[in-house]
Amino acid sequence: MSSPDHAPDPQTAITREVVMRYHLSWKARDIEAVLALYHPGVEYNDFFQNRCMHREELADYVRATMPCGPDDFLEHSDRIRIDGDTAFIQYAIRVSGGGTFRASEAITVREGLIWRINEYALLVKPVAPTGKASAQRPAASRLGLSARQLSLLARDLEDYFQRSQPYLDPALDLHQVANATGYTRNQISYLLNQMLGQSFYQYVNQARLQHLLRLLETVVPPVRIDELAFNAGFNSLSAFYRCFRQHTGLSPKAYLRQMHE
């Protein structure tokens, strides 16, 4: 009989069951089963396309991204790692006409359904010789990043950004984030670069943009978008406009016009 110190975490068990069903539904190419696992308040962040989607948008998205052709494939390249309400999945995916991608997903489960997905994908380049590739990729174990440590790092980083909003400081750098969270710069860089497919500044600007988009839902016209961008922490208008267009597919002016139509 297990001792109380080693009793299974109920939330981890729920997360494992939901994510395994999700994983198997994708492998079976069962769109309806996939969609049934999304929480009504789900938020799906596709950082490769810089898109943030909610429940009503996901049916078309899943149909467009699920491999269904004879030459398509979906191959999970690592075991599913779970801690509490969060799971990590790594996989390779090929869709006809869309190329081959290596991707990672951080999946959060609430109320027995998938509440949030952060998906980070990279277009796969020609495969380098095995020795060279492994030499260039830092080993998670050398950085103290066990599966549990990795999931805690991702959660702590997101919690820190949501709670303290450090991105509002236009001079924010990796050293400051490392000091505030108690992790090393190398550990944070490994999570962002290897697991999430982003640079530190892409991650920070993404947080700034989400902050600004929330502001736009409450401000009363006329809106001075440049001023809001600086207030959100952007220190360059060119970086702001580039990030805004990548995320929304629109210029700020067109986005505002669409909001008020």
91-141 tens-digit pLDDT: 877 654 445 677 888 999 999 999 999 888 765 533 333 444 444 444 455
Residue 7's pLDDT is what? 53
Q: What angle do CA 126, 128, 130 make, to 5 degrees?
A: 140
Which segments of the chain belong to CATH 1.10.10.60?
A: 130-260
> Is domain 130-260 classified as CATH 3.90.470.20?
no
Contact 261, 254 (CB under 8 A): no
| DSSP character at residue 75 | E
Check pLDDT > 90 for residue 260: no
Integer Rg of the chain from CA: 20
List pLDDT tens digits, range 54-97. 999 899 888 877 777 666 667 766 678 888 899 988 887 765 44
List pLDDT tens digits, range 17-30. 999 999 889 888 89
Could you list the beta-strand ranges (E) of the chain: 38-46, 51-54, 73-76, 81-83, 86-95, 99-110, 113-123
Contact 63, 29 (CB under 8 A): no
Which residues, in sequence order, are bridge partners of residue 123? 101
Q: What share of the chain is helix, strand, coil (3-state, %, to 5)?
A: 50, 20, 30
Q: Which CATH number fits domain 8-123: 3.10.450.50, 3.20.20.70, 3.40.640.10, 3.40.630.30?
A: 3.10.450.50
Which segments of the chain belong to CATH 3.10.450.50?
A: 8-123
Q: 91 by DSSP, 3-state: which? A: strand
Phi, psi of 153 (to 5 degrees): -60, -45
Instruction: Check residues 164 and 136 and name the one with the higher pLDDT.
Output: 164
d(CA 74, CA 91): 7
Check pLDDT > 80 for residue 179: yes
Q: Would you say how long the chain is, in residues?
A: 261
- Unique residue bearing structure tokens 């600004």: 212
- Unique residue bearing structure tokens 């810089």: 50
